[in-house]
């Protein structure tokens, strides 16, 4: 269980770091790129976050039954 949490956290961290680099480069070449980029990705991250939470909750509930 803890190993899964650690692996997921590590993947999320590297994912965030990668997209931070992409956003920095985009802002360097195209001013105003980050505002559009962040608005799109914040929605996507919310959907992903709540999706992961929902899946974990359903998996936990199935294990209990």
Q: What are the pLDDT digits (tens) for 36-54? A: 766 777 777 778 888 888 8
Q: How confident is the model at residue 1 (pLDDT cuts 50, 70, 90)?
A: low
For residue 12, with 0-12 CB atoms within 10 Å meaning exposed, 13-18 middle and 19 or more buried, which class applies?
middle
| 37 Cβ contact list (under 8 Å, min separation 6) | 22, 23, 26
pTM: 0.38
Q: Please tell me the total number of residues recorded for the chain in this structure.
A: 65
B/e letters for 26-64, b = 16+ CB within 10 Å, e = fewer, are eeeeeeebeeebeeebeeeeeeeeeeeeeeeeeeeeeee
């Amino acid at each position: 269980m803890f190993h899964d949490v650690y692996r997921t956290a590590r993947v999320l961290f590297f994912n965030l770091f990668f997209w931070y680099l992409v956003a920095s480069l985009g802002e360097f070449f195209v001013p105003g790129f980050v505002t559009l980029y962040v608005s799109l990705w914040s929605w996507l991250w919310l959907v992903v976050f709540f999706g992961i939470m929902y899946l974990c909750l359903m998996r936990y509930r199935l294990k209990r039954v």
